[in-house]
Amino acid sequence: MLSRHHNFYQQFLQLVDALLIGFSLWAAHAIRFYVLNKLVWFDDYPLEPQFANCYLMIALALPLGPLVLEYMGLYQTQPPIGWIKSFSRIMSALALLLLAIFTCVVVFRIPQESISRAALALFFMLGTVLLSLRSALFLLWLSQRGSRVHLRQYILLCGLPQDRERWKERFLSQRHRGFEIKAEFDLRQEGLARFIETLHEETVDIVVFSLDEAIIPQVREALLACEAEGIEAWLSADFIQTLFTNVQFDQFAGHPLLIYRTTPAISWELAFKRLLDIVGSSLLLVVTAPLMLLVALLIKTTSPGPIIFSQNRSGLHGRPFRMYKFRSMMTNAEQARAELESRNEMTGPVFKVKNDPRVTPLGKWLRHTSLDELPQLWNVLNGEMSLVGPRPLPVYETANFGDVTQRRRMSVRPGLTCLWQVRGRNQITDFKDWVRLDLEYIDRWSLWLDLEILLRTVPVVLFGWGAK
């Protein structure tokens, strides 16, 4: 399916599902407090505290519901999932949604006696029925759409023989979408005049051009012919091969562009990630303020020098920024680094030493508990870092990257924690393994991966796993 079609279907279904979830919550509470309580009128019956709380739960469920359903794969359209899998995924998603609601109840200290468990059980059943019905209707529409003649789309394949064969296989795998190959054409051999005649002789909705360097001039003229005929044209540029790049079409100042991107595009997920950074760092700064004050006093009274250590680190795409930490080393640590080069345990440009003599006694404990990283919450709030992302390295270390692909770890905003933190941390001694984990995070990125890493970071920090 074309990405624009998939995105439209997904956004439309997410809106419908959010409304169905919100309605299910409201209807479940209405049934519990108005139908089961002797069918009284709304105007005459006083609102119970439980019914008033249903609006808070609706406010939570409207954004979270579609997110959980997407995580469970309900919006998969290629290939479309069957109704049995859809039913099981809906039940799992609603169970996760209820778990999220109960978590918010605990976090926001809402009295549990004001939450109707009977209403939530009714919501689970009603939501499952309504979402399953929506899913079944959508699957029925998809299956019937391809069989309707007036919705069928006729395709003209245009390009070299081997390219046309690949496209034939792709369209045959999508037969249920209503595509039908009407004709094939070789621009290099048959010429533009015959191409225009074919457009007139056949019923053609879409022309698929397989772009090859040898026929770019002919393709340009054929595209102009399609424009004159009002026929949609698809341009395949398979001769530009990449490993991980996502290719998207866009325009700038009215000029069309093909954009090759290895990082996530601007989306509501990235916006939510930034919102999570702002809210999370703000809350943590407030909650840990007394602890940070205690750490500051301990540093001031146990060793001479400043409380905060700052250093130029490489941020997004190598932008230098000032990163802050509680000082855990002697004040001459940077100057003494050269004397310890022979003891470096990390291969590559990164410097790591076990039992570093520059670390103060208090600093060793701060590093073991990761308390020295707390001031970086200000970097997160300021937008220079994220809660989750590759750890920022000093500018002088990134300048010594031996492999140009290692710089791709700087294609996203650096973070407090990442896969490296939860899969070995300082037990990793090869910088290539460190980079491999960072690139895995970039290529697999999702909000759920961020939440998973944050949850897995908690025991790593509490028990000091992998810390030195």
Q: What is the pLDDT of residues 313-343, one digit of tens each?
A: 999 888 899 999 999 888 887 777 777 777 7
The whole-number average pLDDT for the span 354-383 is 89
Check whether residue 80 and residue 171 sit in a common domain.
no
The confidence score (pLDDT) of residue 414 equals 94
The confidence score (pLDDT) of residue 45 equals 45
Domain that holds residue 109: 3-145
Residue 247 within a domain: no
The confidence score (pLDDT) of residue 77 equals 60
Residue 261 within a domain: no
The confidence score (pLDDT) of residue 19 equals 92
Check whether residue 208 and residue 283 sit in a common domain.
no
Alpha-carbon torsion 428, 433, 437, 438, what sign? Answer: positive
User: In whole angstroms, what is the distance from residue 336 CA to residue 333 CA?
Assistant: 5
Q: Is the pLDDT of residue 222 over 60?
A: yes
Average pLDDT taken over every residue of the chain: 80
pLDDT classification of 292: cutoffs 50, 70, 90: very high
Model pLDDT for residues 55-72, shown as the tens digit of each residue: 878 888 888 888 888 878
Q: Is the pLDDT of residue 46 over 60?
A: no
Check whether residue 164 and residue 61 sit in a common domain.
no
Q: How many CB atoms lie within 10 A of CB 379?
A: 25
Residue 86 within a domain: yes
To the nearest 10°, the Cα dihedral for 364, 369, 375, 378? 150
Q: Is the pLDDT of residue 50 over 80?
A: no
- pLDDT > 90: percent of the chain: 20
The confidence score (pLDDT) of residue 43 equals 45
The confidence score (pLDDT) of residue 306 equals 92
pLDDT classification of 78: cutoffs 50, 70, 90: low
Q: Is the pLDDT of residue 111 over 80?
A: no
Q: Is the pLDDT of residue 145 over 70?
A: no
In this predicted model, which residue has the larger pLDDT, 273 or 84?
273
The whole-number average pLDDT for the span 213-240 is 78
Neighbouring C-alpha atoms within 13 Å toward the C-beta of 57? 33
Residue 29 within a domain: yes
Point out the domain boundary residue: 145, 161, 178.
145
| 3-state SS assignment for residue 25 | helix
In this predicted model, which residue has the larger pLDDT, 204 or 465?
204
Q: Which residue has the tokens 């533009």?
A: 192
Answer whether 209's CB lies under 8 Å from 184's CB: no
| 3-state SS assignment for residue 79 | coil
- Of residues 58, 48, 69, 71, the one with CA closest to residue 104: 58
Check whether residue 37 and residue 95 sit in a common domain.
yes
Answer whether 468's CB lies under 8 Å from 367's CB: yes
Q: Which residue has the tokens 């970039």?
A: 442
In this predicted model, which residue has the larger pLDDT, 117 or 177?
117
In this predicted model, which residue has the larger pLDDT, 267 or 243?
267
Answer whether 285's CB lies under 8 Å from 291's CB: no
The confidence score (pLDDT) of residue 424 equals 64
Residue 468 within a domain: no
Q: Which residue has the tokens 């879409």?
A: 206
Answer whether 16's CB lies under 8 Å from 24's CB: no
The confidence score (pLDDT) of residue 326 equals 94
The whole-number average pLDDT for the span 211-231 is 79
Model pLDDT for residues 204-213, shown as the tens digit of each residue: 888 888 877 6
Check whether residue 325 and residue 443 sit in a common domain.
yes
Check whether residue 130 and residue 232 sit in a common domain.
no
User: In whole angstroms, what is the distance from residue 278 CA to residue 380 CA?
Assistant: 7
Check whether residue 212 and residue 276 sit in a common domain.
no
Check whether residue 155 and residue 223 sit in a common domain.
yes
| DSSP type of residue 404 | G
Check whether residue 40 and residue 184 sit in a common domain.
no
Q: Is the pLDDT of residue 235 over 70?
A: yes
The confidence score (pLDDT) of residue 126 equals 93
Number of structural domains (the chain) is 3
CATH number at residue 204: 3.40.50.2300
The confidence score (pLDDT) of residue 114 equals 65
Residue 253 within a domain: no
Check whether residue 154 and residue 139 sit in a common domain.
no
| DSSP type of residue 323 | E
The confidence score (pLDDT) of residue 166 equals 83
Check whether residue 420 and residue 396 sit in a common domain.
yes
pLDDT classification of 49: cutoffs 50, 70, 90: low
Q: Is the pLDDT of residue 137 over 80?
A: yes
In this predicted model, which residue has the larger pLDDT, 310 or 115?
310
The confidence score (pLDDT) of residue 323 equals 95
